[in-house]
Amino acid sequence: MDPVALAGAAAVRRAIPTGRLEELVFETAAAALADAGLSRADLDAVVLGASDELDGRSISSMLTAAPAGALLKDEAKVPDSGLHALALGVMKVLSGSAATVMVISWGAPSECSREAIQRTALEPFVERPVGTIDGVAFGLTAAAYLERHGRALADLDRRADVRHARVGGDRGGDGWIAYPLRRRHVAPVVDGAAAVVLVSGRPPAGAAPAGWIRGLGWASDVHAMAERTPGAWPALEVAAARALGRAGIAIADVAGYEVDDRTVIHEALALEGLGAAAPGTAFDALDGELGSRVNRHSGDGFAGIPVHCTGLWRLATVCAAWRDRPGGGPLLVHDSVGLGGQSHAVVVAEAVRE
Amino acid sequence: MSDATTATEALVVPEDWHIHYEYSAGPVVGHFLRGLAEGRIEGRRCPGCQMVWMPPRGYCERCFVPTDTWVPVGPEGALEAFTIVGQKFENLPDPPYVIAFCRLDGADTALVNFLRMPLDDVAAAARRLRPGTRVRAVFEDRRAARITDFHYELV
Amino acid sequence: MSAAVRAAIVGVGETAYRTHHPDATYPELAQAAGLAALAMAGMTPADVDAVVYSMAPTHFMGVTDAQLWAVGPVGGRHKPLMRLHTGGATGGSAAEAGYHHAASGLHDCVLVVGADKVAETRDAQFILNLIWDPFFERDFALNTVTMAAIQAVRHMEQYGSTEEQMAEVAVRSWRRAKRNPRAHLRGDISVAQVLESPLMSWPLKRYDCCPRSSGAAAVVIASERVIRERGLDAAWINGAGALANTVFMGDRLGPRRLTDMGDWDELRGAAATAYRQAGITDPARQIDVAETYAPFSINEIMAVEALGLCAAGEGGPAIAEGRFDEGGEVEVNPSGGTLCANPIAVTGLVRVCDAALQLLDRAGGYQVPGAQTAVATAVGGSFQFQTCMVLGREPTGGKS
């Protein structure tokens, strides 16, 4: 596919809210425009990536469209995730319907009870009574992985050790969320938002892009975890193949990975699904050379994961890093959504050549 | 969807939800609501277009810059649009009642609230509520830092 | 900007619309519409490259992220799937997103599908009140009915539209719906019956208001290459526009307003984009059929004005004198429209379905003979989001 420019970006992460949700949205959108050297008047379209349930407002875009810059503009909301919203934004540019698109996503878990919401996402007849919400689903996913690949709890503990040392401080403790996942295997969540401004291949004069989107892909698996593949994420493999294919590169060309690392098992499954490590070997690969190329720009999620916008937040953080230091090879940016990683989105992004 | 299912009653699974939220009001809305509790209504002005926004917000949606000044508005203003609710909706007041968009003096946009007036004849009341009709914001004796701390009345 | 790839609707699927569909689970309902659309296109789920899921608030059917529940049944396993949600405009936004999936050159065959089951809860109005700002609006009965009523008051004040003219919209919609086997409401009602029906919110009475329906809808959108290769009948997507406004209706009043609550300026704007892309310069002459998302009678009056089918303020008299009825220069809502069926999550997609069926000569009892150009609209939020899609029997190619 034709590359699409990342004209500007902004990423916000905070432990407690400083204002109302709409103000967080405005602040992030305004910062992305400023980074792009553009004004709201330059926008043709806005795509939101937000969830009503997390926002605590039905049709939350009613309140957040204008703060996102969409007043009297083309606006659409893709609830799935920030990277899914990005996919629609990219397609609007490629279809020729919009030359400049704001893509913005957020999550404010400080305002909602996520576990109650997660329960309502379960199929109501056979799943909800059993209650396989996120924490439980993480445990199931981890157990299936260890079983299928003959790995051990010690692998999870060891990876958590490394990651806690990286961010300084070991929080959570050994208690089980759901065996074999301990509280310390899981990243804390924080409020956050992210926005990128996309422009078609000929950016407006004066706007130096932070980087380029060279390819993207996304795919979903079926809802029932029992009907999926234990210990693997085939939907991610599909998404990654499409992203790499559209970028015209192979996995060997990839310089780094910015992946969903909300638990130590997500990180491993993500790297294997992307093709960065062979099935069952991610923990070993992370001990080696690969470890230095994972989440190097966006940082370890153990420092705090902004929910729902996580992948877009990682991409925006990478753009900020590229402003300081352009160059380096293509990165794969990944996010997963849905219980046990039901849906995945992958972006191939690259800095402007120095 | 086969015909076989029509012969027996379809199975139904009941459930009730309770999901708790804590909405952050933020400094701008917080200031406004606390002002209401003190009997004060203020709008927020944009330094770019100079519009005084009601309800107040921290940013101007048109200029896309933060608003920066509190501006007292009212207590009188003009009715701009209304309806008279005739049905009982869940968790909402018993009908009939008027909800009205009124632009208080000093504000550039209208704010919705209940308007109290005699409603024994709905059609007659509707005829009285022409756009431009003068109204006044009247505060309740007991206030709770909520939008319902005041209502409109015809002047 | 010119489009990379031209695309068209090649298949349409709709279930019947009624209050309850106790005979199917939510995903089964969506699946039925999806399979029907694929069948019309001579395709199977294996042909689908991507799925766009049309779903608005999930509170009615009670499963958050319903699109994730529906992945398997709609043929989305290991395929790209994303959901669109713009309130009432959702179906229109989903159809436009499906178009972009193909027009971008990234996908050849896209299934746009969704469903709603509005009667899984009796707390519908309470849920609808959750859309409002918790600080400023939720205490009031600001809901779709009262918002529409406020628009009606404004339109009456500005243009002299009457309650009788609004009633005519309802009478004609129900009559048209008699030809649509899928319509939820249909029959012969009189202006007097409409005027005497219970007051919902002045000036709107019960018959001025849409129902809440359960049901599903789907379209298959294919790229030009696939259409030519397979020799498919096609309703070409020649224009797709959308416009969003602020949630605050008080901003759409007063001397410094940019748009007016009494006019559907957002639709006028969305249509301007779509018309420019499709080469529509004289809508009343060039458009044969308009499926407008008008959930309340006043909205159809506002829609025909905003679409340029008549002058501003003329909508009431034009509809009342039958200008947009069967045999008219432009037939409006031959399906019966939203007043006769409103499966909220997909109503906007139903408008697209019913417009496309006209150009595929598949509209059956409500076919407009020889229709060449059709328009489909959708509206959502505080009547703040509008989409407008222009379809044609021939592709119009490059865009300005």
Residue B150 contacts C where some CB pair is shorter than 8 Å: no
Task: Using alpha carbons, list the distances in angstroms from residue C55 to A27, A77, A168, B5.
Answer: 28, 11, 43, 26
Question: How far, in Å, CA of C221 to CA of C104, rounded?
Answer: 13
**Cβ contacts of residue A299 below 8 Å, gap of 6+?**
A167, A317
**Complete DSSP assignment for chain B:** --GGGGGSPPP---------B----HHHHHHHHHHHHTT--EEEE-TTT--EESS--SB-TTT-SB--EEEE--SEEEEEEEEEE-S--TTSPPSPEEEEEEEETT-SS-EEEEEE---SSHHHHHHH--TT-EEEEEE-SS--SSGGGEEEEE-
What's the rounded Cα separation, in Å, for the pair A23 and A31? Answer: 12
Higher-pLDDT residue of B87 and A11 is: A11
pLDDT at B136: 98
d(CA A242, CA C28): 29
Q: Which of C353, C336, C311 shows the shortest CA–CA distance to C91? A: C353
Binding partners of C (≥3 Cβ pairs within 8 A) = A, B
Q: Are strands A181-182 and A176-178 parallel, antiparallel or unpaired?
A: antiparallel
- Provide the H-helix boundaries in A194-263: 234-247
Cis? peptide before C198, omega within 30° of 0: no
Q: What is the pLDDT along chain C (400 residues), one digit of tens a residue?
A: 456 799 999 999 999 999 989 889 999 999 999 999 999 999 999 999 999 999 998 888 888 899 999 999 999 999 999 999 999 999 999 999 999 999 999 999 999 999 999 876 666 555 555 555 555 666 565 678 899 999 999 999 999 999 999 999 999 999 999 999 999 999 999 999 999 999 999 999 999 999 989 999 999 999 999 999 999 999 999 999 999 999 999 999 999 999 999 999 999 999 999 999 999 999 999 999 999 999 999 999 999 999 999 999 999 999 999 999 999 999 999 999 999 999 999 999 999 999 999 999 999 999 999 999 999 999 999 899 999 999 999 999 653 3
CB atoms within 10 A of CB A224: 17
Rounded CA gap, C309 and C302, in Å?
10
**Chain A residue numbers touching B15 (CB-CB < 8 A):** 124, 128
Structure tokens at C54: 């049309």
Q: What is the mean pLDDT of chain A?
A: 92
**Which residues on B lie below 8 Å from C199 (Cβ)?**
84, 86-87, 122
C190 DSSP 8-state letter: -
Q: Which residue of C has its CA nearest to B121?
A: C202
Residue A258: both structure tokens together: 């910015």
- CA-based nearest residue to A184, from A166, A171, A195: A171
Neighbours of chain B (3+ CB pairs under 8 A): A, C
Residue C199 pairs with which residues in a beta bridge? C205
**Does residue A202 surpass a pLDDT of 90?**
no
Q: Which of C62, C123, C199 sits opposite B122 (nearest CB)?
A: C199
Q: Which of A1, A71, A78 is opposite residue C106, by nearest beta carbon? A: A1
Which residues have C-beta within 8 Å of that of residue C29, sequence separation ≥ 6?
C15, C21, C115, C117, C214, C215, C216
Q: Does C247 touch chain B (CB under 8 A)?
A: no
In angstroms, the CA A75 to CA C35 distance is: 29
Crossing angle for the helix pair A153-167 and A134-149, nearest 10 degrees? 120
Please state, in angstroms and as integers, the Cα–Cα distance from residue C293 to each residue in A307, C210, C298, C354, following that order.
35, 10, 11, 11
Q: What is the pLDDT of residue A127?
A: 78
Parse chain B into domains and list their residue ranges.
19-154
Task: Give the strand pairing for B97-104 and B134-139.
Answer: unpaired
**Distance from A16 to chain B by nearest Cα, in Å?**
10
Token digits of residue A15: 């432990």
Q: A98: which chain C residues are within 8 Å (Cβ-Cβ)?
A: 1
A238-241, long-range: CB < 8 A, 24+ apart: A238/C78, A238/C79, A239/A344, A239/A345, A239/A346, A239/C80, A240/A273, A240/A274, A240/A275, A240/A332, A240/A334, A240/A346, A241/A217
pLDDT at A201 over 80: no
Radius of gyration of chain B (CA): 21
Between C46 and A16, whose confidence is greater?
C46
Residue C118 and residue C341: Cα distance in Å, rounded? 12
- Segment among A225-234, B2-11, B117-126, C53-62 with least mean pLDDT: B2-11
Contact C220, C41 (CB under 8 A): yes
Position A170 scores a pLDDT of 80
Instruction: Check CB contact of C329 with chain B, cutoff 8 Å.
Output: no
Question: Using an 8 Å Cβ cutoff, are A274 and A332 in contact?
Answer: yes
Q: What are phi and psi of A312, to 5 degrees?
A: -65, -35
Residue B4 has pLDDT above 50, yes or no: no
Question: In the predicted model, is pLDDT for residue A233 greater than 70?
Answer: yes
Q: What is the ipTM of this complex?
A: 0.96
Check: CB of residue B28 under 8 Å from CB of residue B56: yes
Backbone region of residue C397 per phi and psi (left: phi > 0; alpha: psi in -120 to 50; beta: other values): left
Chains B, C: CB pairs < 8 Å? 133
Q: Which residues contact C91 (CB under 8 A, 6 or more apart)?
A: C54, C114, C217, C345, C346, C347, C348, C349, C350, C351, C352, C378
- Are the Cβ atoms of A97 and C131 closer than 8 angstroms? no
| Sheet containing C385-392, strands listed edge to edge, beginning at the edge strand earlier in sequence | C81-84, C50-54, C109-116, C215-223, C7-14, C235-244, C385-392, C373-380, C289-291, C331-332
CB contact under 8 A, B109 and C198: no
**Partners of A193 in beta bridges:** A12, A106
Q: Do A71 and B61 touch (CB under 8 A)?
A: yes
pLDDT of the residue at C323: 97
Tokens standing for A323? 């402003």
Q: State whether B61 and A111 contact (CB < 8 Å).
A: no
CATH of domain C7-121+213-222: 3.40.47.10
Q: Fill in the amino acid letter for C282.
A: D
Cα dihedral A69, A72, A74, A78 sign: positive
Asked whether the beta carbons of residue B21 and residue A111 sit closer than 8 angstroms, the reply is yes
Whether C261 sits inside 8 A of B147 (CB atoms) is no
Strand order in the sheet with B42-45: B52-53, B42-45, B69-72
Contact (Cβ atoms closer than 8 angstroms) between residue C98 and residue C84 = no
- Pairs of residues, one from chain A and one from chain C, whose beta carbons lie less than 8 Å apart: 202
Which positions 356-395 of C are in contact with B (Cβ < 8 Å)? none
- Neighbouring chains of A at 3+ CB pairs within 8 Å? B, C
Q: Which residues contact B9 (CB under 8 A, 6 or more apart)?
A: none
Show me where the domains of chain C are located.
7-121+213-222
Peptide bond into C203 cis (omega under 30): yes
| Contacts with A, B 17-76, CB within 8 Å | 17-29, 57-59, 61-62, 64-65
The tokens describing B90, both together, are 């869940």
CB of C119 within 8 Å of any CB in chain B?
A: no
pLDDT 10s digits, B116-144: 999 999 999 999 999 999 999 999 999 99
Report the residue from C125, C153, C254 with minimal CB separation from B109. C254
Written as one letter, the residue type at A168 is G
Distance (Å, rounded) from C-alpha A130 to C-alpha A79? 26
From B108's Cα to the closest Cα of chain A, the distance in A is: 17
The model's confidence at residue B51, banded by pLDDT at 50, 70 and 90, is very high
Give the H or E element holding residue A135. Answer: helix A134-149
pLDDT at B1: 41
State residue C1's pLDDT score. 40
Q: Which of A17, A20, A128 sits opposite B29 (nearest CB)?
A: A20
What gap in Å lies between CA C326 and CA C323, rounded to an integer? 9
Closest CA to A156 of A165, A148, A166, A146: A146
CA distance, residue A39 to nearest chain B CA (Å): 8
- CB < 8 Å to A43, chain C: none
CA atoms within 13 A on the CB side of C111: 35
Q: What is the pLDDT of residue B105?
A: 98
Whether B83 sits inside 8 A of C199 (CB atoms) is: no
Q: Which of A23, A113, A117 sits opposite B26 (nearest CB)?
A: A23
Give the H/E segment covering residue C110.
Answer: strand C109-116
The pLDDT score that the predictor gives to residue B6 is: 45
- With CA atoms as reference, the chain A residue closest to C240 would be A97
Q: Exposure of C198 by Cβ count < 10 A (0-12 exposed, 13-18 middle, 19+ buried)?
A: exposed
**Chain mean position to CA A180:** 24
Partner A contacted by C242 (CB < 8 A): yes
Q: Does domain A4-111+188-351 bear CATH number 3.30.9.10?
A: no
Helices A153-167 + A264-274 axis angle, to 10: 100
Q: Does the beta-carbon distance from B54 to C250 stay under 8 Å?
A: yes
pLDDT score for C5: 96
Chain C closest-CA separation from residue B84 CA (Å) = 5
Among candidates A77, A91, A222 on the partner chain, residue whose Cβ is nearest the Cβ of C100: A91
- Smallest Cβ–Cβ distance between C399 and the set A96, A121, A339 belongs to A96
Instruction: State whether B24 and A128 contact (CB < 8 Å).
Output: no
Angle of helix A21-36 relative to helix A310-324, nearest 10 degrees, comes to 30
Residue A89 confidence class, pLDDT cut points 50, 70, 90 = very high
Tokens (6 digits) for A313: 């937040």
The token pair at A203 is 């950016």
pLDDT of B88 over the 70 cut:
yes
Strands C373-380 and C289-291: parallel
Taking the C-alpha atoms of residue C177 and residue C333, their distance in angstroms, rounded to an integer, is 9
For residues C97 and C52, what is the distance between their CA atoms, to the nearest angstrom?
A: 7
Number of other residues whose CB lies within 10 A of the CB of residue C264 = 29
Tokens representing residue C76 in the block: 């989305």
Contact between C392 and C240 under an 8 Å Cβ cutoff? The reply is no
